[in-house]
């Protein structure tokens, strides 16, 4: 629902069905060449924020070459393979017969993990994430034709839940390495690559700025993508406000002090509730917490956190397995 809501706000500013073929820039503007059903079209702007994966940028012509450091980052960053297989069932048999509400089953079968979504319970029907696999497991699923992928996955599910064969209605799968606009599921840094490549991934190249989960230290997660987009937008805003003609690195101005929001949770006992998630693997206590009741409260808290240089995470119900919904002293 998030991208749909953003699309509604942006309206006609979005140009659909256009594939980027080349990038260029000079001292006055950035230039993006595209093609679509209606032919070629050129877009010009003061600045461009590039959010497509680096795996896609590798196949786009850069007429004014990026720096060698940027080229090295684009060439060397690894994108992990991932695969998901879904089945729709006319009954939620895992709840009705097995008493499983949410969570997952970890198996030694080819499907690896089955996830049980909690939404849609009122309909009596359900969709199982029958398999979520990564790396070599995902490559093996991706090598199969779609129909064979579904047949084998259903056989695996039926070993855990025999009712699946009688209640299944349809299935589908997603193989991220087969998506021409993704080239993989997410950036998966190899040893030492964060130290060697991160600063070059996020560094602007003239009038081009970079965002996306690969341009943050929260790889794979929506949190990292949003954080990187905010950083790029703030950097461009600071550059525009300063009226600078040069296009080197941007230094963001100091942030004004903000009033402390009301209703902040500060007691050790209360904060302890937010020190873990449902994975119970990582324990990280925040400095402050807030249970907002309006969008204005969220905005006020974000402004305060920025002025105090505090990291922020949207916790929700702590729905993460490895500490992603926690923030150390933030």
Residue-wise pLDDT tens digits, 188-208: 988 888 888 999 999 999 999
What average pLDDT does this structure show over 45-67?
A: 94
Tell me, what's the pLDDT at 253?
45
Position 255 pLDDT exceeds 80: no
Tell me, what's the pLDDT at 294?
87
**Least confident among 35-39, 248-252, 273-277, 284-288:** 248-252
Residue-wise pLDDT tens digits, 30-52: 999 999 998 999 999 999 999 99
Q: What is the 3-state secondary structure (H, E, C) of the chain?
A: CHHHHHHHHHHHHCCCCCEEEEEEECCCCEEEEEEECCEEEEEEECCEEECCCHHHHCCCEECCCCCHHHHHHHHHCCEECEEEEEEEECCCHHHHCCCCCCCEEECCCCCCEEECCCCCHHHCCEEEEEEEEEHHHHHHHHCCCHHHHHHHHHHHHHHHCCCHHHHEEEEEEEEHHHCCCCCCCEECCCCCHHHHHHHHHHCCECCEEECCHHHCCCCCCHHHHHHHHHHHHHHHHHHHHHCCCCCCCCCCCCCCCCCCCCCCECCHHHHHHHCCCCCCCCCCCCCCECCCCCHHHHHHHHHHHHHCCCCCCCCCCCCCCCCCCCCCCC
Position 229 pLDDT exceeds 80: yes
Position 251 pLDDT exceeds 60: no
The whole model's pTM is what? 0.69
* % of the chain with per-residue pLDDT over 70: 95
What average pLDDT does this structure show over 142-147?
A: 96
Tell me, what's the pLDDT at 245?
45
Position 70 pLDDT exceeds 60: yes
pLDDT class for 261, splitting at 50, 70, 90?
Answer: confident
What average pLDDT does this structure show over 200-219?
A: 94
pLDDT class for 247, splitting at 50, 70, 90?
Answer: low
Position 242 pLDDT exceeds 80: no
């Amino acid at each position: 629902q998030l991208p749909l809501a953003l699309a509604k706000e942006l309206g006609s500013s979005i140009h659909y069905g256009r594939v980027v073929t080349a990038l260029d820039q000079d001292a006055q503007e950035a230039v993006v060449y595209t093609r679509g059903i209606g032919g070629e079209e050129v877009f010009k702007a003061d600045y461009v924020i590039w959010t497509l994966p680096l795996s896609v940028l590798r196949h786009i012509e850069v007429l004014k070459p990026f720096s060698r450091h940027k080229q090295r980052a684009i060439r060397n960053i690894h994108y992990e393979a991932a695969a998901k297989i879904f089945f729709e069932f006319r009954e939620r048999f895992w709840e009705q017969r097995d008493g499983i509400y949410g969570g997952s089953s970890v198996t030694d079968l080819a499907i690896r993990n089955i996830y049980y979504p909690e939404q849609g319970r009122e309909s009596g029907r359900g969709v199982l994430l029958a398999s979520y696999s990564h790396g070599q497991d995902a490559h093996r699923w991706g090598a199969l034709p779609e129909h064979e992928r579904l047949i084998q996955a259903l056989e695996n599910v039926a070993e855990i839940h025999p009712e699946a064969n009688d209640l299944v209605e349809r299935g589908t799968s997603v193989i991220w390495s087969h998506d021409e606009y993704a080239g993989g599921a997410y950036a998966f840094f190899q040893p030492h690559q964060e130290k060697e490549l991160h600063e070059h991934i996020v560094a602007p190249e003239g009038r081009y700025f970079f965002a996306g989960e690969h341009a943050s230290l929260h790889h794979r997660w929506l949190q990292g993508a949003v954080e990187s987009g905010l950083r790029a937008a703030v950097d461009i805003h600071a550059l525009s406000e300063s009226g600078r003609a040069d296009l080197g690195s941007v230094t963001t101005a100091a942030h004004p002090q903000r009033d402390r929001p009301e209703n902040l949770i500060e007691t050790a006992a209360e904060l302890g509730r937010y020190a873990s998630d449902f994975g119970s693997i990582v324990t990280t206590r925040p400095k402050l917490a807030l249970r907002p009741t309006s969008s204005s409260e969220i905005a006020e808290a974000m402004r305060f956190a920025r002025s105090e240089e505090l990291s922020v995470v949207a916790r929700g119900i702590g729905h993460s397995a490895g500490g992603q919904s926690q923030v150390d002293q933030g």
